[in-house]
Homo-oligomer: A and B are copies of this chain.
Amino acid sequence: MNRSELIAQIKSKQSFLCVGLDTDINKIPEFLLDSEDPIFEFNRQIIDATHDLCVAYKPNTAFYESRGAAGWESLAKTWEYLPNDCFSIADAKRGDIGNTSEMYAKAFFNEKSGGMSFDSITVAPYMGSDSVKPFLGFKDKWVILLALTSNNGSKDFQFLSNDDGYLFEAVIERSCEWGNHENMMYVVGATRGEAFVSIRKHAPNHFLLVPGVGAQGGSLQDVCKYGMNSDCGLLVNSSRSIIYASSGKDFAEKARVEALKIQQEMAVELNKIGF
């Protein structure tokens, strides 16, 4: 999915919600454990219940890998089930030397090779340009680079600074030379509203993938106030507060209720930029 198609979806659905499919076998409703593939079955019902309220889905690969090859199959089936009008994100946080990152790109972008073709993948920046560039050569595919994450550990290195600014600012500045706002986004945690101001200086046009609203305590209104641009420019992720809204038979229904609440708040924000 390219940039203008993504923006069209945001306008049409009045939403910039991304639903995080962090599907944990120990947290899904017990009655699903009898299905052939409980992880996929959970995802399928969540997708059916929410796809008109969100513009993106983001399975985090860790939850699938933790179940070995079977989990990897659940991930491929989930990818295959995702509707075409939703942007798909493999939240994999990969990154390696050039020839190895090419292999990761094959895994997530090349259906013939790895059985999946996500629209985008999250990438860790520590290894620099050649760890990122192999993902940028695919038409209408995206790198979503970690810039400022929502966790406590983000303080350890991302805020190290010198006269040129913080490390997360250097990541954005330098990586803007490798790609552009048509093939790169940045991960920016919602728990740091004030940081959006500086990030928007370096990357005014890029989309930002924003985790940390909901369970982690970030405010949607702050994120929009400081981070939204005239194309919206935001994908706000919510995982646990939607997919685990209920642990009963009504889990999908309750997930829809939560997603709808967020979508309605998002419509208000989109209205402010004339969407």
Q: Which residues of B contact A154 (CB under 8 A)?
A: 127-128
Chain B residues lying within 8 Å of A151, measured Cβ to Cβ, are 97-98, 127-128, 130-131
Question: Chain B: which residue is nearest A104 at the CB level?
Answer: B62
Flag whether A137 is at the interface (Cβ < 8 A).
no
- 26 A-B residue pairs with Cβ-Cβ distance under 8 Å, sorted by A, are A60-B96, A60-B100, A62-B101, A62-B103, A62-B107, A65-B104, A65-B114, A66-B106, A66-B107, A66-B114, A68-B76, A68-B107, A69-B70, A97-B150, A98-B151, A124-B124, A125-B157, A127-B151, A127-B153, A128-B151, A128-B152, A129-B153, A131-B153, A157-B171, A160-B167, A160-B170
Task: Please report the total number of A residues contacting B with Cβ < 8 Å.
Answer: 59
A193: Cβ under 8 A from any B Cβ: no
Q: Does A249 contact B (CB under 8 A)?
A: no
Measured CB to CB, the closest approach of chain B to A98, in angstroms, equals: 7
Contacts of A129 in B (CB 8 A): 152-153, 156
Bits for A81-107, please: 1 = Cβ < 8 Å to B, else 0. 000000000000111111011011011
